């Protein structure tokens, strides 16, 4: 199954000159979504994780069903102020400024093998921040995966872990 055929391209969103790749059409098709989760399961299982991490917010849509299929736990990396209880923050640089991501204290045990998931890898900045945050709390990041990758933005170069994507866009 060609999963690219299920991704809707939305020109000039969220601003002029940007071509947005919308996974809502993939999610709406049960057979395409099932194939997506199965293919990610095969890729992620090779990393032998103990737990999966999803990056806010579309990464939750990827990581949660995958965790169920693989019989693993699932935790969230979110923007600051979105998680209850004590959290561990990490500030990271953006092209123009910075942002903060957090994970709940105790969500990842020291030494746990972690795979980080999101819907899309673009420049790699958010994925890199999630990797750094998991390491900060003692997790061992053994890999990362996304449904889509904008390979022309070279996001893989920001990562020092194995990475896989199901779909790659070259321009």
Q: Which of the residues are catalytic? A: 58, 95
> Nearest Cα to 144, choosing from 54, 73, 57, 68?
54
CB 49 within 8 A of CB 113: yes
CB 141 within 8 A of CB 170: no
Q: 3-class SS at 154?
A: coil
CB 122 within 8 A of CB 140: no
Residue with tokens 């709940």: 104
Supply 147's token pair. Answer: 């449904």
DSSP 65-85: HHHHHHT-EEEEEEETT-S-S
Compute the Cα dihedral for 74, 80, 85, 86 and give only its sign. Answer: positive
In degrees and rounded to multiples of 5, residue 82 shows phi and psi of: -105, -10
């Amino acid at each position: 199954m060609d999963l690219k055929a299920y991704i809707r391209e939305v020109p000039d969103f969220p601003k002029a000159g940007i071509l947005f790749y919308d996974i809502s059409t993939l999610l709406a098709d049960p057979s395409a979504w099932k194939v997506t989760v199965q293919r990610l399961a095969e890729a992620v299982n090779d990393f032998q994780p103990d737990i999966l991490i999803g990056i806010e917010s579309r990464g939750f849509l990827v990581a949660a069903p995958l965790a169920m299929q693989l019989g693993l736990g699932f935790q969230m990396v979110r923007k600051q102020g979105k998680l209850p209880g004590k959290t561990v923050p990490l500030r990271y640089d953006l092209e123009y400024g910075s942002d903060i991501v957090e994970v709940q204290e105790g969500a990842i045990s020291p030494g746990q093998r972690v795979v980080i998931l999101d819907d899309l890898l673009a420049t790699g900045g958010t994925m890199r921040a999630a990797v750094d945050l998991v390491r900060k709390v003692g997790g061992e990041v053994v890999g990362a995966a996304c449904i889509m990758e904008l390979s022309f933005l070279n996001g893989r170069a920001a990562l020092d872990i194995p990475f896989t994507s199901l779909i790659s866009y070259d321009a």
